[in-house]
Amino acid sequence: MDKAGSTRTLLRMLAVLVVGALVISPMAAAPKEGKGPVRRTGSEMCWVTPNPVANGSMFTIAGQGFIPGMTLDVFVGEGGIVFAQVLGDGSFSCEDRATFLSTGAKQVNVYQMGDRHMTILASCSFTVN
């Protein structure tokens, strides 16, 4: 093999390594949702409107103080689950229909999606008539 050919091959291999490093670096540095401990702001809160809710009607669960971009599992009442994405200002909003077997006080718990420890980020309650 001549000197010019081996130099070209060496430069091509170096270019492939540089491009590979540039592609892999951002992926390795990106945070992995649902991995490791849950990150909190300490000011997460939620609420339900309207309150009280007529059974069979729509209601809204909203909150603020969350980390922007976080994906949430919102557990409602006796086992209903609603999903929500936190907006850039730290707020979220989602809707559900009140289809409960019984009326009375219902609990809402908000978790980070994928949190196997189910750390409650925010909790609120509402009444179903």
Amino acid at 52: P
Which residues share a beta bridge with 85? 71
- Report which DSSP code applies to 55: T
Give CA–CA dist 18/60, Å, rounded: 50
Q: Which two tokens mark 17?
A: 């390594």
**Claim: this prediction has a pTM higher than 0.85:** no
From first to last of its 129 residues, the chain has per-residue pLDDT tens of: 567 677 777 767 656 555 555 555 444 444 455 456 778 888 999 999 999 999 999 999 999 999 999 999 999 998 789 999 999 999 999 999 999 999 999 999 999 999 999 999 999 999 999
